[in-house]
Structure 1
Amino acid sequence: MAGTKFAYVKNFELPDPLLPGTYILLRLDGHGFHRLSQDHDFVKPNDERALQLMDHAARDIMHEFKDVVLAFGESDEYSFLFRKSTTLYNRREAKILTTVTSLFTSSYVLNWPRYFPNSSLKYCPSFDGRIVLYPSEKEVRDYFAWRQADTHINNLYNTTFWALVQQGGQTTTEAHATLRGTVSKEKHELLFSRFGVNYNTIPERYRKGSVLVREEVAGHEPSGTAESAPAEDKCATSGSGAEASEVRVEHTQGTKKSKKPKVQTHIQLYHCDVIEQAFWGARPYLLE
């Protein structure tokens, strides 16, 4: 089109650079997943297969974009934190948002048969996305604390709701009415007194969500094979929370001038607390 009389239309394409020196946080949400979960018979209140599929797609994002250092997932959403210094696509908002969203969606569809071998997709799932910029470490940490608190609140409600329906014989309308106006303590008591369920023993994946971290590893040789989570709790929280995950060791070579050694990293999946200081204190490089 260059050099023709039609080239003027390119002037309507406005630049959309993201503010430099800020943290880029990209969040994806499943579009119409309430219907999708019903039509594909997801297990209630939590479907392990669906959550593992989300983790797989998120891991693919982190393998493709090395500037994503942390991701957090719950239900049908995932949040990705980019290095503050990233210059990916010259920080063009539309380019980053559309590429990450489309790759996540395609990975979700491509890997569906791996997690749902007996349930073919009836139609195309989709995700919407947004980018938010945060000026300092405080807002970034508060963002992830907000998402993890939301995970707990939603899961406690859903766990109690489906216990009332599946074990208590209530209709969905009756279960909603039973829980209307209740606080956390009352839901805990209802679960334990009526169904013998201690909420604190429910798997951490459901209570705390999924945390994918780009871990720095010293002296690790690339193998391209799957590895188990280390015995020592590298998440540095009160919960163990580590889960076996696919490992690809990645290398970042320093320049000849700087003579910095290769930085080896792998992506580790945890289900642990990201609200307290311990998680962040063990990984200062995430917010550098």
Structure 2
Amino acid sequence: MANSKFEYVKSFEVEDRLMPSTWIVIRIDGCHFHRFSEVHEFDKPNDEQALNLMNSCAVSVVEEFPDIVFSYGVSDEYSFVMKKTTKFYQRRASKILSLTVSLFSSAYVMKWKEFFPQKELKYPPYFDGRVVCYPSTEILRDYLAWRQVDCHINNQYNTCFWMLVKSGKSKNEAQDILKVEEITKLTDDGDPVKRYRKKVIVDHCDIIGPSFWNEHPDILGK
């Protein structure tokens, strides 16, 4: 109710605008996805359809929010990069985070049957998220490289672990062996503006070295 005596409660809302002229990264991560993958019998170490579902959900987010210029995903995690000049929802962290997480989560449920037509979704998945500002392109690239290096390490470990399990080792035995081996755009009211944008491409590539960024300088606005 506008101009009512109760409107004073708005004064308790915390200002959460993100730092201007910085890259905004929204990282979402599946909650308790180890259990989720077991209940839904995902293939180990990598379930191709589950990964394709994650990619499809990310595409939905990128297509809906044009100020996202790049995204990177691994397993049950996805990072979305918004351009430095974005005014998306006046750069309010709570709005940006809640919109991204809710859209991704709802897309996951809506698209489930497309990727798992023979499997029932036994309970709804959910994701947590965080928003971080990075002041320079160099630091942003280091962040993305960190996520890909982490992907390589985890994938190496998981591949070895599940190969040992499939060979007859128990999970505890496999863990002990690996320990020894030491494997290591907007309107005034904040609604998205529907406008033309380039086609969203899903790719598997190296983003640690300079080649990718040299081939795609437009992503970081160069």
TM range (shorter): over 0.9
Residue matched to 2:54: 54
Instruction: Please give the secondary structure, in 2, of the residue aligned with 1:130.
Output: strand
TM-score, normalising length: structure 1? 0.71
The sequence identity of aligned pairs, in percent, is: 49
Alignment of 1:265-284 (within 5 A): 265-284=198-217
Q: Shift of residue 109 of structure 1?
A: 0.5
SS at match of 1:269: coil
Alignment of 1:175-254 (within 5 A): 175-184=174-183, 251=196
Larger Rg: 1
Deviates more, 1:1-10 or 1:125-134: 1-10
Paired with 2:84 and 2:20, the residues of 1 have a C-alpha distance of 8
In 2, distance between residues paired with 1:33 and 1:81? 23
Distance 2:181 2:141 in 1: 29
Residue of structure 2 equivalent to 1:207 = none
Note the C-alpha offset of 1:97. Answer: 0.3
Q: Which residue of 1 aligns with 2:25?
A: 25
Is the strand fraction higher in 1 or 2? 1
Alpha-carbon offset, residue 124 of structure 1 = 1.1
The alignment's TM-score, normalised by the length of structure 2, stands at 0.92
**Residue deviations 1:244-266 (CA, integer Å, cap 9, x gap):** xxxxxx62xxxxxxxxxxxx511
SS in structure 1 at match of 2:89: helix
Matches within 5 A, 1:61-210: 61-166=61-166, 168-184=167-183
Q: 2:2, 2:78 → 1: CA distance?
A: 40
Q: Once the two structures are superposed, what CA deviation does each residue of 1:175-207 show, in whole Å capped at 9, x if it has no partner? A: 0001104245xx9xxxxxxxxxxxxxxxxxxxx
* Structure 1 residue ranges without an equivalent (≥5): 188-249, 252-263
Root-mean-square deviation (CA, aligned residues, Å) is: 1.2
SS, match of residue 117 in structure 2? coil
Aligned residues: 211
Structure with the bigger RCO (C-alpha within 8 Å, sep 6+) is 2
- Structure 2: where are the runs of 5+ without partners? 185-194
- Please report how far the alpha carbon of residue 3 of structure 1 lies from its aligned counterpart in structure 2 after TM superposition: 2.0
